[in-house]
Homo-oligomer: A and B are copies of this chain.
Amino acid sequence: MDCNCHNTEKISLSHEAAAAVFKALGHPVRLHIVRMLLAGERCVCELHKGTERDLSTISSHLNILKNAGVVTAEQRGKNIYYRLAIPCLSTVLNCLVD
């Protein structure tokens, strides 16, 4: 009856950690970044192009997302690639957004 995540998608956060994830998602620029990352990993400069903020502002938002556990970063060559770290995020967004 209920619609649940697959077991492989479900993660178990403490209430504090869950609030931190929601807080991280609760800014238009960061939500936009997360939506770009749904299509796969992106480097900072690519994510920057998708917004209208200073590059340093994007870097700061990425740091907030990383601290909340929403994304992880990996350096490859000159670039740093960010990707989503919470599998069920697409489920969560699909439930709410357009």
The interface size bin for chain A is: 35 or more
The distance in angstroms between the C-alpha atoms of A10 and B92, with both chains bound, is: 10
Nearest B residue to A24 by beta-carbon distance? B26
Chain A, interface SS category? helix
The distance in angstroms between the C-alpha atoms of A54 and B30, with both chains bound, is: 31
The distance in angstroms between the C-alpha atoms of A9 and B25, with both chains bound, is: 21
Which of A12-20, A43-51, A55-63, A75-83 touches B?
Answer: A12-20
13 CB < 8 A contacts A-B:
A3-B9, A4-B91, A5-B91, A5-B95, A10-B94, A11-B96, A14-B98, A15-B98, A19-B25, A19-B27, A19-B31, A22-B25, A91-B91
Q: A4-B95, A88-B96 are in contact. List 18 more A-B contacts (CB 8 A).
A: A3-B4, A3-B9, A4-B91, A5-B91, A13-B97, A14-B97, A14-B98, A15-B35, A15-B98, A18-B93, A18-B96, A19-B26, A19-B27, A19-B30, A19-B31, A22-B26, A25-B26, A92-B96
